[in-house]
A = this chain, B = another copy of it.
Amino acid sequence: MINNKLPKLWHGADYNPDQWLDCPDVLKADIEYMKKAKCNVMSIGIFSWSILEPVEGVFNFEWLDGVIDSLYKNGIYTILATPSGARPPWLGINYPEVNRMDGAGNRYEYNFRHNHCYSSPVYREKVHIIDEKLAERYAHHPGVIMWHISNEMDTNAPYDCLCPLCRENFRAWLKKTYKDIDTLNKFWWNGFWSHKYSDFSQIQPPNLQGEEHSVGLKLAWKRFKSDLLVDFYREEVKTVKKYNPDLPVTTNIMNTFEIDYYKLCKHVDIVSWDNYPNWYSKNDNCEIAVETAFYHSLYNAMKPDKPFMMMESSPSATNWQPAAKLRPCGFHLMSSMQAVAHGSNTVQFFQWRKSRGQLEQFHGAAIGHDGTDKTRIFHEVENVGKALEQLVQIQDTLSHNDVAFLFDYDCAWTLDIIEGFRNFEKRKGFETTLFKNLGALWHLNAGVDIIGTEDIVSGGIALARYKVVVAPMMYILRRGLVEKIEEFVQDGGVFVSTYCTGIVDEENLCWQGKDYYPLGNVLGILYEETDALYDIHENTVEMFGKEYRATRYCELSHLNGAEALGTYKTDFYAGMPAFTVNHFGNGKAYYIAAELEEEGLIKAYGEALKPVLPKEKIPDTPRGVNVQWRYGTDGEAYAFVINYTETPQNISLPYDFDILYGDLTCGTIDKYGVCVLKLK
């Protein structure tokens, strides 16, 4: 449960009554429609600064009082935003230093949103003033249930700030991180291309008008930017918490890899994120479902003892996607329930009502330009509201899983920066690999917790909690991690590694000498080379009497204790191992050397997981029907069965259960069908 004030699954939306102040009927009608759609929360004030403070120092809260009061009187709670996501014109124009600066020293003009300089003392001060005013007035309002700090905070929208203050802050960060210039030179391998600095003062951030190639510099800059954003966020939190430390705070995060959300989310009371899958953009919606599951599983695991929130989603077409494709009847329910299945206690969407103009006038909404509840989309939203009421007991459950899936932001950043492997893929195809590996687990119905390795090394997360740990394309093998993995396997755990895993340390220095491949010990292999294929090439892997296509990556290693379960069939490495297992202590370590086609990858993961996971946890289902679990504090188990395909599917589940929601008559689940089962 998120908050005792509202002991339900939350249903709501971003709501912008400030856009309709000259249409008083709108608020009144909206509240009626909200109640009809069983909405109980609304996010308010996200971009209201130019209305709250139209002229510097002149504040206007009456309209907001009215909105919050009216909602509250009608049983709808407010998630109140600080408006720092978009500054008003007067702020960007009167104080140019709050805008970012480009590499050539040109200050950007006042601009759309987000592109403020996070270092700017002026910006921080002006945000502090408006935040304080809001906190003073609303921190104890009975209708205000949570703070929504800023909005989709971003490091580089649309471009890095390269102002003197940010440059100076970066150098200070470097000094704090590396202590002395020799250490920095060594970690960055600055003998290369004559780049040995003699002093920190010589270092400038990477930029098109300067250094664009130094790997160490670029990685440091990404880390710095992420840290600076967290610092800015924390200052806002401090302001609002002063007035009511008990009112929880969150900030809505996104599906970007550009910010280290592990670090940011240490400072939220509850994790919330904005979920915009691009359904129907590929031939197979399962791929989209897997990508979405990735983010749900990642953000759910960031606070293992709490549910998360899906702060935004689209009830229909998303206007800024390549095509604003409509979603079929029932699809919004399915897409919403995927979040709940993975641990969300809310279904919130953008936006309650379509605006008349500007960039998001065509974004999906409960209420369209006709202003009625007669539309298909309103009906879809209403159905979600009803379902959430039906599932009220779910609020006391959490999603936690037997499989740990390792993922680091540093790894994504570094793969973006280096040159090697499949350069023509963004980040060398890191996401593709992540999603293919997660996809195999998803098709096996094996739910995962996606966790960062820094917390493992520091002891914040104990691997012992898991039965299986997978490390797909975990290019960075942080110092201290291999010991944790070996201990985990020694104690009976199953570890699965893939190509491009364990190559460098966290400074992007290749592991070296006799330790050049630290995972070799647990995997029982001698790694030698990584073949990065062009798309015109492929290999074949024979496993368990069957042949599977291998594309993109094929790694060449030698057995050194491990047993080959699969071997390459062609090219000069025919006969070399492509899938291996090593018995290590009481556990096993698997190595998937190549990018196998889906069926092969499922086969390989099945081989690794099935012996250690209870059969009921990984039931067989038709392709596209997925099962996720939530558990109550007294051991109650709830299975969320969702059919992501466009046809009804027959399923047979190996449990006794009550149906909490949905229909499984004759063992058939409808297209886009959702069933929630409670195990007996």
Instruction: Indicate whether A38 reaches chain B with its CB closer than 8 angstroms.
Output: no
Q: Mind listing 19 A-B residue pairs with CB under 8 Å? A: A19-B192, A22-B186, A54-B198, A86-B193, A87-B194, A88-B196, A89-B195, A109-B207, A111-B210, A112-B214, A282-B536, A320-B423, A323-B423, A324-B530, A356-B509, A359-B418, A362-B418, A369-B516, A371-B513
**Segment among A44-52, A295-303, A478-486, A489-497 that sits at the interface with chain B:** A44-52
Residues of B within 8 A of A361 (CB): 189, 215, 418, 420, 508, 510
Q: Does B109 contact A211, Cβ atoms closer than 8 Å?
A: yes
- Is A202 positioned at the interface, with any CB of B under 8 Å from its CB? yes
- With beta carbons under 8 angstroms apart, the residue of B110, B207, B517 that contacts A204 is B110
Q: In the complex, which residue of chain B has the Cβ closest to the Cβ of A370?
A: B516
Residues B370 and A513 in contact, CB atoms below 8 Å apart: yes
Chain B interface: which of A253-261, A325-333, A607-615, A618-626? Answer: A325-333
* Selected contact of A510 from candidates B102, B354, B507, CB within 8 Å: B354
Number of residues on chain A facing chain B (CB within 8 A): 117
Give complex CA distance A84, B232 in Å.
43
Say yes or no for A532: interface residue by CB 8 A criterion. Answer: yes
Within 8 A of B (CB), among A373-423: 375-377, 418-423
Q: Are A18 and B191 in contact (CB under 8 A)?
A: yes
Q: Which residues of B contact A420 (CB under 8 A)?
A: 317, 319-320, 324, 361-362
**Of the residues B190, B213, B371, B534, contact of A516 by C-beta under 8 Å:** B371
Contact A323 B422 (CB under 8 A): yes
The 8 A CB mask of A636-665 against B (1 = contact, 0 = none) is: 000000000000000000000000000000
- Expressed in whole angstroms, the Cα–Cα distance for A207 and B326 within the complex equals 32
Give 14 A-B pairs besides A322-B423, A362-B421, A369-B513 with Cβ atoms closer than 8 angstroms.
A16-B192, A54-B196, A89-B196, A89-B202, A109-B204, A111-B212, A189-B355, A193-B359, A322-B534, A325-B537, A354-B510, A357-B510, A371-B514, A376-B556
A321 close to B (CB within 8 Å):
yes
Residues of B within 8 A of A516 (CB): 368-371
Interface string of A298-323 (1 = CB under 8 A from B): 00000000000000000011011111
Q: Which residues of chain B have C-beta atoms less than 8 A from A158's C-beta?
A: 212
Judging by beta carbons under 8 Å apart, are A112 and B213 in contact? yes
Indicate if the CB atoms of A359 and B421 lie closer than 8 Å: no
In the bound complex, do residue A215 and residue B358 qualify as a contact, i.e. CB atoms below 8 Å apart? yes
Chain A residues 33-49 with CB under 8 Å of chain B are 47-49
Given contacts A191-B16, A531-B326, are A198 and B370 in contact (CB under 8 A)? no
Asked if B105 and A106 sit within 8 Å, CB to CB, the answer is: yes
Chain B residues near A16 (CB-CB < 8 A): 191-192
Could you tell me the distance between the alpha carbons of A256 and B216 in the complex, rounded to whole angstroms? 29
Residues on the B chain within 8 Å of A102, using CB: 104, 209
Let me know if A357 and B187 touch, CB within 8 A.
yes
Question: Given the complex, which residues of B lie within 8 Å of A317, measured CB to CB?
Answer: 420, 529, 531-532
How many of these chains are in the complex? 3
> A496-531 interface mask toward B, CB cutoff 8 Å, 1 = contact, 0 = none?
000000000001111111101100000000001111
Verify if A83 is at the interface (C-beta below 8 Å from B). yes
CB <8 Å contact, A209 and B358: no
Chain B residues within 8 Å of A507, by CB: 357
Q: Is the CB of A357 within 8 A of B216?
A: yes
Contacting A316 at CB < 8 Å: which of B111, B326, B529? Answer: B529
CA distance in complex: A362, B418 (Å): 9
A572 within 8 Å of B by Cβ?
Answer: yes
Within 8 A of B (CB), among A168-215: 186-198, 202, 204, 207, 209-215
Given A89-B196, A196-B54, are A531 and B371 neighbors across the interface (CB < 8 Å)?
A: no
Complex CA gap A190/B55 in Å reads 15
Query: A559: CB under 8 A from chain B?
Result: no
A360 at the interface (CB under 8 A from B): yes
A59 at the interface (CB under 8 A from B): no
A113 at the interface (CB under 8 A from B): yes
A633 at the A/B interface (Cβ < 8 Å)? no
A91's nearest neighbour on chain B, judged by CB, is B194
Asked if residues B111 and A357 are in contact (CB atoms below 8 Å), the reply is no
List, in ascending order, chain B residues with CB within 8 A of A536's CB: 282-283
Residue A511 contacts which of B109, B212, B360, B369 (CB distance < 8 angstroms)? Answer: B369
Measured between alpha carbons, how far is A571 from B671 in the docked complex, in Å? Answer: 12
Contact B323 A424, beta carbon cutoff 8 Å: yes
Complex Cα–Cα for A419 and B364 (A): 12
Tell whether A191 pairs with B90 under 8 Å between CB atoms, given A326-B556, A359-B419, A512-B371: no
Residue A93 CB within 8 A of the other chain: yes
